[in-house]
Structure 1
Amino acid sequence: MTQPSQHTFLRTLLDEASRPFRGGGHFAYHYSRGKLSSDSIFREILKRGLLPAEARYLDLGCGQGSLFSWLLAARKLYESGYWPQDWPAAPKPLSLRGVELMQKDVDRAARAFGKDHPVVRIEQGDMNKVDFGQVDVVTILDALHYFDHAHQRDVLRRTRAALPPGGLFLTRVGDASAGLPYHICNWVDHTVTFVRGHRLARLYCRTLAEWVDLIKSFGFIVETDPMNEGKPFANVMLVCRVPA
């Protein structure tokens, strides 16, 4: 099969990943397309080969499951041979479990994936209360700052306990020491969350150095990478691994 240009490939991947949400209504479909096309972290986790070849996933604060649809679409295109030559192989999810506090998002996910999907399971729940089980990858994207510092520490402790040697914890946080970009991030956060039908009373943020020190205290090796792609934000991706 002819190798696609990156632009053409990403457009095809976006179409494939957002297709399941057509059945969830106008908002679900366009929200997924907007998020997956505008947020560079989805592209970068594939392009950089951050994820294991085969893995069990737990996404905390998963929303309507856009990350899961992205991973499944990537694997489908990879197996069909339609994949950039200079990208690592697409990961193969063995199970995709999501936990989401907002019932509306869980309902959208149910309409997108169906109730009997062989890999995907998204449930309504609070990450501060649910059992994480045992998985290979835990993701918390832009959600750790929604609850207080004591709960942050507890979630990180339980995340570490859920992962085996070599396991991966992937998160993205805002750097509270970044000045104006940090305040812009918070404004966008409040706006997007309001559009999704929820209001944030308060955010519990930290500086990047504080986030890194906190996560390292639970035994992770932490790598940091700004994840803004030219936008005036203060988002940083943290790639946190359990020593093998």
Structure 2
Amino acid sequence: MVFDFGLLAEHAARRYRPAGRFTEGFVRGKLRHDPVYSHLISNPNWLPQSGLILDLGCGRGILLSLLSEVRKRALTALYDVRLCGLDLRTKDIAAARRALGDEAEIKLADVRSAALPAPGAVVLLDLLLYLRAEEQETLLKRIADSLPAGGTLVMREADAASGLSFRATRTAERLCALARGQFSQRYHYRSETEWRDLLEGLGFTVETAPMSKGTPFANVLFIAHL
């Protein structure tokens, strides 16, 4: 798939203007500097040809906005794909709804307890670290049970075995939590090997790619197929 990601990202960022200049600028910065978005859009092998793409912990819906722009421009075969996002943060949900309108279903819900619709692909970007170990395992099992044969889980998490890069990741997460007023936020990290073992134990075939280019962090992208 050949396209100008910068132009696509700019169109996606402009969707957030009704939510305010700060939100628009935040989204633009994420799209420019976080490598996961360009990687996923440029490598469409994870995208289903039909059915539902479910983004759990979707936040402001940045990936969903990008996918909607891809669909609108017919850059890949997303014609029959539906988009849905779940998140607990009311302000982020409001921004996602303003950006996406009726192009995606955005739900205010706790991913730990919400019913999961039958998806073709599930996305978890930087979400599981906020859950306790047993909650991580329960959610991943629920996702595996909800996906069809051939379904895909796309997941990004930090590699707890990556030394100084992991320390930078952990420090950044703590600072962000403090900025949000979440002074008691706790995290549970795993190494890349531990994540892979957990996913393979649920029946997934797992591919990984480093996902921290241009940053000091220790993120890994997991593309897991049933």
Normalised to the residue count of structure 1, the TM-score between the two structures is 0.85
Match among 103, 116, 125 for residue 132 of structure 1: 116
Question: Which residue of the partner structure matches residue 189 of structure 1?
Answer: 173
Query: Paired residues, what number?
Result: 224
- Mark the CA change 1:185 to 1:196 in structure 2 (over 3 Å): closer, same or farther: same
1:72-87 matches, within 5 Å, as 72-77=68-73, 79=74
Residues 39-50 of structure 1 mapped to structure 2, 5 A cutoff: 39-50=34-45
Q: State the distance in 1 between where 2:111 and 2:28 align.
A: 26
| Cα separation, partners in 2 of 1:72 and 1:198, compared to 1, 3 Å | farther
Per-residue deviation at 1:54?
3.0
**Pair 92,170 (structure 1): closer, same or farther in 2 beyond 3 Å:** farther
In 1, the alpha carbon distance for the partners of 2:181 and 2:97 equals 18
- Residues in 1 aligned to 2:88 and 2:37: alpha-carbon distance in whole angstroms: 22
Q: Distance in 2 between matches of 1:192 and 1:154?
A: 26
Q: Does 1:236 align with 2:220?
A: yes
Name the SS of the counterpart of 1:135 in structure 2. Answer: coil
Task: Give the equivalent residue in structure 1 for 2:29.
Answer: 34
Instruction: State the one-letter code of the partner of 1:75.
Output: R
Is the contact made by 2:65 and 2:99 (CA closer than 8 Å) also made in structure 1?
Answer: no
* Cα distance change, pair 202–120 in 1 and its aligned pair in 2 (3 A): same
Q: Which whole-Å CA distance do the structure 1 matches of 2:114 and 2:40 have between them?
A: 26
Residue 54 (str. 1) matches residue 38 (str. 2): no
What are the equivalent positions in structure 2 for 1:1-244 lying under 5 Å apart? 9-50=4-45, 51-77=47-73, 79=74, 89=76, 91-92=78-79, 94-114=81-101, 117=102, 119-195=103-179, 198=182, 201-242=185-226
3-state SS in 2 of match to 1:134: coil
Q: Provide the rounded CA distance (Å) in 1 between the counterparts of 2:183 and 2:56.
A: 18
In structure 1, distance between residues paired with 2:58 and 2:219:
18
Structure 2: give runs of 5+ residues left out of the alignment: none
Q: Secondary structure at the match of 2:185?
A: coil
Tell me the alpha carbon deviations over residues 159-184 of structure 1, each in whole angstroms, 9 at most, x when there is no partner: 00110000000000101010110011
| In 2, Cα distance between equivalents of 1:193 and 1:201 | 7
Superposition deviation, residue 230 in structure 1? 3.6
Question: What RMSD, in angstroms, separates the aligned Cα atoms of the two structures?
Answer: 1.9
Aligned-partner residue type, residue 54 of structure 1: S
| Unpaired stretches in structure 1, ≥5 consecutive residues | 84-88
CA distance in 1 between partners of 2:107 and 2:173 (Å): 23
Q: Is the 8 A contact 1:106 1:122 kept in 2?
A: yes
TM-score (norm 2): 0.92
CA contact (8 A) 1:54 1:93 kept: yes
Deviation at 1:64, TM superposition (A): 1.0
Following superposition, the deviation at residue 189 of structure 1 comes to: 2.3
Decide which moves more: 196-205 or 24-33: 196-205
CA offsets per residue over residues 4-52 of structure 1, 9 Å max, x none? 8x6xx22211111112110011222111111111111111112222322
Q: Which moved more, 1:186-195 or 1:33-42?
A: 186-195
Q: Give 1:193 shift.
A: 4.6
Opposite residue 216 of structure 1, the aligned amino acid is E
Instruction: Report the residue type matching 1:109 in the other structure.
Output: A
Q: CA 1:18–1:194 in 2, change beyond 3 Å: closer, same or farther?
A: farther
